[in-house]
Amino acid sequence: MKTSDFYYDLPDELIAQDPLEKRSDSRLMVLDKETGKVSHKVFCDIISMLNKGDCLVINNTRVIPARLLGVRENTGGRIEVLLLKRQDADTWECLVRPGKRLRVGARMSFGDGMLSASVTDVLESGNRLVRFEYEGIFEEVLDKLGKMPLPPYITHELKDKNRYQTVYARYEGSAAAPTAGLHFTEELLNQIRQMGVNIAEVTLHVGLGTFRPVKVEDVKEHHMHTEYYRISTEAADIINDTKRSGGRVICVGTTSCRTVESAADDTGVVHPKEGDTDIFIYPGYTFKVLDGLITNFHLPESTLLMLVSALAGRDAILDAYKEAVECGYRFFSFGDAMLII
């Protein structure tokens, strides 16, 4: 299986640069994973696609303003640091630019000295371990100085930071939003609960591993970076009870999907668990828990496109994407949604 098998043409003008005024006004493509049949709806119509006794699995991670712009202390040269994963109270694994100039011992300053840092190690991946120094509470300093880590294909400035958060975001730790959840409003979630659909909250702190380009031609040679996840006893019970009762488990986003599949045993039972996962789902994978998926439209040749292809079949997905392009759907983080069921 080749990475190039997952390529498709996408005009630049279809890459969504801004969120819609109302989250649930986005378009929704519904793909029948058994027949490949496609239908077109609005996201708030998702209610008509759910049944009493189903379970929605949502990822309650919260994006931190992880992008820091600063200077090197000795030269004044501009640098950029993206926080990826916390190692201890003051040390983070980071992506830094320019990387070649930020070796072990390099000193950095942000916000006129409000925050300073030094590189303590260079990892095999090229990422750095960076130790921060500050007065007060790190999260408060970060909130003042940090910017939302929007993907590079979004060139517009985000006016409201909350639009890159889901309405149910609770636990800080992500370097990117679980974007399939951006379509939900509190009102829509309440309507879903009232119709008897269970909601299970899980946590996966999204790192760049989810979005890292596949640089090998043989898909099987690609290795995912690890990401922290957690499933509580309550969430596991909701998911398992749904399966036992004959309901469907529908994950909101690829991160929720990867979380439940990481925590399930070979019989499909989900266990309360926390730790790191590097699960890589591509065609040939047998899903243990998931029955349906709400997701956005993903980049060509990405691991996320491979995941949805594992669920619905590569040809069906590429045909659906071709139709989405022809119909003018909006793509990627702030774009429209797809329900695979």
What is the percentage of the chain residues whose pLDDT exceeds 70?
99
Residue 266, classed as helix, strand or coil, is coil
pLDDT for residue 210: 63
- 88-100: average pLDDT: 92
Instruction: Tell me the pairing of strands 273-277 and 198-204.
Output: unpaired
AA identity, residue 78: R
Is 59 in contact with 256 (CB distance < 8 Å)? yes
pLDDT for residue 211: 62
Is 100 in contact with 128 (CB distance < 8 Å)? no
Return contacts of 280-285, CB within 8 angstroms, 24+ apart: 280/222, 280/223, 280/224, 281/257, 281/306, 281/307, 281/310, 282/1, 282/219, 282/306, 282/307, 282/309, 282/310, 283/1, 283/309, 283/310, 283/313, 283/314, 284/1, 284/310, 285/310
pLDDT for residue 304: 96
Sheet (strand 273-277) strand order = 38-42, 27-31, 337-340, 292-296, 249-252, 55-59, 198-204, 227-231, 273-277
- 235-263: average pLDDT: 98
- Enumerate the β-bridge partners of residue 232: none
Return contacts of 271-276, CB within 8 angstroms, 24+ apart: 271/231, 271/236, 272/231, 272/232, 272/233, 272/235, 272/236, 273/229, 273/230, 273/231, 273/236, 274/228, 274/229, 274/230, 274/231, 275/228, 275/229, 276/226, 276/227, 276/228, 276/229
pLDDT tens digits for range 162-202: 999 999 999 999 999 999 999 999 999 999 999 999 999 99
pLDDT at 338 over 90: yes
pLDDT at 125 over 70: yes
pLDDT tens digits for range 311-325: 999 999 999 999 999
Q: What is the DSSP string of 96-165?
A: EESGGG--TT-EEEETTTTEEEEEEEE-TTS-EEEEEEESS-HHHHHHHH-B----TT--SPPS-GGGGS
Residue 72, classed as helix, strand or coil, is strand
pLDDT at 225 over 90: no
pLDDT for residue 261: 98
Radius of gyration for the alpha carbons in the chain, expressed in angstroms and rounded: 20
pLDDT tens digits for range 135-152: 999 999 999 999 999 998
Residue among 99, 63, 65 nearest 80 (CA):
99
Burial class (CB in 10 A: 0-12, 13-18, 19+), 290: buried
Distance from CA of residue 270 to its chain's centroid?
21
Is 23 in contact with 179 (CB distance < 8 Å)? no
Distances in Å between the Cα of 293 and the Cα atoms of 22, 124, 160, 310 are: 22, 34, 28, 12
Cα gap 287→289, rounded to integer Å: 6
pLDDT at 212 over 80: no
Phi, psi values for residue 94, rounded to 5°: -135, 155
pLDDT at 65 over 70: yes
pLDDT at 100 over 90: no
pLDDT for residue 208: 72
pLDDT for residue 177: 95
Cα gap 210→262, rounded to integer Å: 14
pLDDT tens digits for range 289-307: 999 999 999 999 999 999 9
Residue 209's pLDDT band (boundaries 50, 70, 90)? Answer: low
pLDDT for residue 207: 86
